[in-house]
Amino acid sequence: MNKQILALVILGGTLLSVGYLLGQEKVDTRSDIQKIADAINSDPTSTWQAEKTPSEADVAYRSRMFNLIIDEVPAEFDEQPELSVADLPENFDSRTNWKDCQSIKEIRDQSGCGSCWAFGAAGAMSDRVCIASQQKDQRRVSSEDILECCKICGMGCNGGFLYATWLNWKAAGYVTGSFYQNNDWCKAYKFPPCNHHSDGPYEDCSKHRYATPKCEKDCSNKDYPKKYKDDKIYAAKIYNIKRGETEIQQEIFTHGPVEAAFSVYQDFLAYKSGVYEHKQGSFLGGHAIKIIGWGVENGVKFWTIVNSWNESWGEKGTFRILRGANHCGIEGNVVAGLPKL
Residues tagged active-site: 116, 287, 307
Amino acid at 133: S
- Alpha-carbon distance of 122 to 112, in angstroms, equals 18
Helix (H, G, I), strand (E, B) or coil at 13: coil
Phi first, then psi: give them for residue 124, nearest 5 degrees.
-65, -40
- Alpha-carbon distance of 311 to 253, in angstroms, equals 25
Cα Rg for the chain, rounded, in angstroms? 23
- Alpha-carbon distance of 295 to 46, in angstroms, equals 18
- Alpha-carbon distance of 298 to 322, in angstroms, equals 12
Tell me how many degrees the CA angle 310-312-315 measures, rounded to the nearest 5.
95
70 Cβ neighbours under 8 A, 6+ residues apart? 161, 162, 261, 286, 333
